[in-house]
Amino acid sequence: MKHFIHLKDISAKDLRKIIVDAKKRKNLRKRLNTLEVDKGSPLKGKMLIQMFEKASSRTRISFYLAIKQLGGGTLTLRSNELHLGQGGESIADTAKILSTYGDGFMMRTDSDEKIENFKDHLSIPIINGLSPSSHPTQVLSDVFTVEEIKKKPISKLNICWIGDSNNVLDSLIAASVKFSFKLSIGCPKKFEPGKKVRDWVKKNNRQIFIYNDVKNAVKEADVIFSDKVISLNDKVNKKKKIEQFKKFKIDTKLINTANKDCIFLHCLPRGDEVSDEVFLGKKSHVWQQALNRVHVQKSILLYCFGKLR
Ligand code: CP
Ligand code: NVA
């Protein structure tokens, strides 16, 4: 049994194994319908319990499909439907119950500490479906999408992030170390990645490149990633923050200054950080990106259940 909480805590070898497996599985089910089960039904009879303390469309649906396609099933809960945090039921007791009924637990939360707490009391694997410091299933799937579209290892590409220093970027930074790719980040000075994550990069003998000028950040980019300036439950003056990011909007003029075949990716939901023209344009692969979450999460589930080939 293995947990999937932060990319930084998983070996590069295992992350690569997950991607290789996802590629094989995606190819093998080209002619299968949405809910048809992969040959061999590797997670037959297994149940994934998913709990959301914050909104989700893609993560919720893609995990549902992922476990179904492996032969298992899922139960999706909102935390306010449980005793947890109400009526005084502890994480330890809830974790024991989840481990009694289910085989895996996926959680989206506003508290990294809560994930750690659950991990300590569960006897089944836990998957981080987004926390303040990480969105690991999203970013591993994004690495898969980049390699699928570009048809080369991500280590040979210049990856660029334009936007806030949030959970998705933290996972992308971890991925840049694990998969050895060049990562350039464009954001206002005030919103640069924090010391903790920068120190971790240094400790791993890698570098990230931070620019406060958006044009310098996208120069020679093969892939431009972005995300909403205002994340879920971001407790800031929203109007002010959007204003501070105004110069960092990704529009056609900007993307045309990157490498000729530069693609655009975005985890969704989107806000004002990208123009419609780019988001819905030829360089954008956001729908393929969203679909690939199903394929990569299947291999993440197999990794957690100790069934990765
Ligand atoms: N990208 C992503 O995680 O989307 P949801 O918030 O809809 O799950
Ligand atoms: N950074 C965003 C990602 C949403 C999928 C958030 O945390 O809301």
| Structural domain total, the chain | 2
Same domain membership, residue 236 and residue 152: yes
Residues with CB under 6 A from ligand 1: 56-59, 130, 138, 267-268
Please indicate, yes or no, if residue 207 is contained in any of the structural domains: yes
pTM of the model as a whole: 0.98
Same domain membership, residue 300 and residue 232: no
Band (157; pLDDT cuts 50, 70, 90): very high
Distance 58 CA to ligand 1 centre (A): 5
Count the alpha carbons within 13 Å of 241 in the hemisphere toward its beta carbon: 16
Burial class (CB in 10 A: 0-12, 13-18, 19+), 23: middle
Q: Which ligand does the CA of 231 lie closest to? A: 2
Same domain membership, residue 251 and residue 285: yes
Please indicate, yes or no, if residue 309 is contained in any of the structural domains: no
Same domain membership, residue 66 and residue 160: no
Please indicate, yes or no, if residue 264 is contained in any of the structural domains: yes
Answer yes or no: is pLDDT of 87 > 80.
Answer: no
Same domain membership, residue 285 and residue 149: yes
Q: Which residue's CA is the closest to the ligand 2 atom numbered 6?
A: 231
Give pLDDT tens digits for 105-135: 999 999 999 999 999 999 999 999 999 999 9
Same domain membership, residue 145 and residue 117: no
Please indicate, yes or no, if residue 149 is contained in any of the structural domains: yes
Same domain membership, residue 283 and residue 147: yes
Q: Which residue among 50, 53, 59 is best mutated to probe the pocket of ligand 1, counting the most ligand atoms within 8 A of its Cβ?
A: 59
Please indicate, yes or no, if residue 1 is contained in any of the structural domains: no
CATH number, domain at 49?
3.40.50.1370
The mean pLDDT of 13-21, rounded to a whole number, is 98
* pLDDT score, position 30: 93
Please indicate, yes or no, if residue 2 is contained in any of the structural domains: no
Same domain membership, residue 186 and residue 250: yes
Same domain membership, residue 223 and residue 96: no
Please indicate, yes or no, if residue 104 is contained in any of the structural domains: yes
Sheet holding 182-186, edge to edge: 209-211, 182-186, 158-162, 223-226, 263-266
Q: Which ligand does the CA of 291 lie closest to? A: 1
Give pLDDT tens digits for 215-256: 999 999 999 999 999 998 899 999 999 999 999 999 999 999
Same domain membership, residue 169 and residue 123: no
Q: Which residue's CA is the closest to the ligand 1 atom numbered 1?
A: 267
Distance 108 CA to ligand 1 centre (A): 10
Full domain range(s) for residue 73: 7-133+293-304
Same domain membership, residue 171 and residue 37: no
Q: Which atom of ligand 2 is nearest to the CA of 167?
A: 1
Q: Which residue's CA is the closest to the ligand 2 atom numbered 7?
A: 231
Q: How confident is the prediction for the chain on average, in pLDDT?
A: 97
> Coil, helix or strand for 105?
strand
What residues have CB less than 8 Å from 126, skipping those under 6 apart?
Answer: 3, 4, 5, 104, 105, 106, 107, 115, 118, 119
Please indicate, yes or no, if residue 140 is contained in any of the structural domains: yes
Distance 267 CA to ligand 1 centre (A): 7
Residues in the chain: 309
Q: Which ligand does the CA of 268 lie closest to? A: 1
Give pLDDT tens digits for 43-86: 999 999 999 999 999 999 999 999 999 999 999 998 888 888 77
Q: Which atom of ligand 2 is nearest to the CA of 132?
A: 7
With a pLDDT cut of 90, the percent of the chain lying above it is 95
Q: Which atom of ligand 2 is nearest to the CA of 233?
A: 8
Distance 203 CA to ligand 1 centre (A): 31
Answer yes or no: is pLDDT of 88 > 80.
Answer: no
Q: Which residue's CA is the closest to the ligand 2 atom numbered 3?
A: 231
Cα 270 to Cα 117, 124, 156, 184, 275, distances in angstroms: 31, 33, 28, 21, 10
**13 residue type, one letter:** K
Cα 81 to Cα 53, 84, 130, 303, distances in angstroms: 10, 8, 19, 29
Same domain membership, residue 178 and residue 80: no
* pLDDT score, position 177: 98
Give pLDDT tens digits for 186-221: 999 999 999 999 999 999 999 999 999 999 999 999
Show which residues are catalytic. 108, 135, 138, 227, 267, 293
Distance 280 CA to ligand 1 centre (A): 18
* pLDDT score, position 9: 98
